[in-house]
Amino acid sequence: MIRKVLLSLSLLFMSMPSFSDDNELSKLYADNEIDGTLLVQSFDGRTEYQHNATKIEEGYIPASTFKIPNTLIALEEGVIKDQFEIIKWDGVEREFTPWNQDQTLATAFSRSCVWCYQRFAVKVGDIKYKQYLADFDYGNRETGSVISTFWLDGDLRVSVRDQVNFLRKVYLEQLPIKHRNVQILKDIMLTEETSDYKLWVKTGWQDEHGWYVGYIETQGKVWFFANHIKIKSPADLFFRKALTIKSLKMKGIIQ
């Protein structure tokens, strides 16, 4: 019996495609002097383009990319009704001017409004977060000692591949979340629509961790992607999106 199981597993892995660094993408990052890791994966998972493949499985702070699962959790738990409900500003002046006003879920997501999601987090609580992280199989499933900041400076870690795997579950609605709530997330994640493609995205930034993750529909196909780069100065934030879009063009996914 054991031999049959091992044989089946070996045949499975033999049938799976193997991947390695894409030289064209590696040159793109080197030319821009950016230390980063990129994974672009086709809908069926059989085509991948990678840069820095040895770090694809390394865990990083998710920062504001956690607003993707966090939005689903907040909606499912009823701490926010929909993308239109007003989130009243507490009057505290913060470093990012667009945060200093009433928000909606849509603006809180697009502006990465930390205080909005901190308010949600306190209402959700640690026990429920750990259950959702387990149900989602999200990253290392850890939170931390401070429930309102665990995705920024707590114990939660997520890899580039984790991000892509989770995005596929969002797209296919393979999560224990109501269809309505997934659709609200998709509505507020849609950031760009051209004649060539539609793009669903979330950015993230905390200390040296910069993220650009999402998926794209183009020419009747869907591709998932996650780009993590090391932020040495605020000027590097530009490359989160720029290198991702350039990579998609270099591989012929978009024009």
Q: What is the CATH number of the domain that holds 239?
A: 3.40.710.10
CA distance 170 to 165: 9
Phi, psi of 203 (to 5 degrees): -95, 165
A 10 A CB-CB count for 54 gives 10
pLDDT of residue 19: 65
**Does a structural domain hold residue 9?**
no
The strand ranges marked E within the chain are 36-42, 48-51, 190-193, 197-206, 209-218, 221-230
Residue in 64, 110, 112, 247 annotated catalytic: 64
pLDDT tens-place string over residues 87-124: 999 999 999 999 999 999 999 999 999 999 999 999 99
Q: Which residue has the higher pLDDT, 1 or 84?
A: 84
**Does a structural domain hold residue 6?**
no
**Does a structural domain hold residue 1?**
no
Residue 10: pLDDT over 50? no
Number of domains present in the structure of the chain: 1
pLDDT of residue 63: 98
pLDDT tens-place string over residues 21-60: 899 999 999 999 999 999 999 999 999 999 999 999 999 9
pLDDT of residue 21: 87
Determine the structural domain holding residue 210 and report its residue range. Answer: 19-250
pLDDT tens-place string over residues 62-94: 999 999 999 999 999 999 999 999 999 999 999
pLDDT > 70: what percent of the chain?
A: 93
**Distant-in-sequence, close-in-space partners of 244: CB < 8 Å, separation ≥ 6:** 38, 212, 225, 227
Identify whether 10 is a catalytic site residue: no
Mean pLDDT on 214-233: 97
Residue 6: pLDDT over 80? no
* Contact call for residues 184 and 74 (beta carbons, < 8 A): no
DSSP string, 207-247: TTEEEEEEEEEETTEEEEEEEEEE-SSGGGGHHHHHHHHHH
Give the helix/strand (H/E) hosting 72.
helix 67-76
Q: How confident is the model at residue 148 (pLDDT cuts 50, 70, 90)?
A: very high
Q: Which residue has the higher pLDDT, 1 or 223?
A: 223
> What is the amino acid identity at position 142?
E
CA-CA-CA-CA dihedral for 60, 122, 77, 97, to nearest 10:
-70
Mean pLDDT of the chain: 93
* Contact call for residues 182 and 169 (beta carbons, < 8 A): no
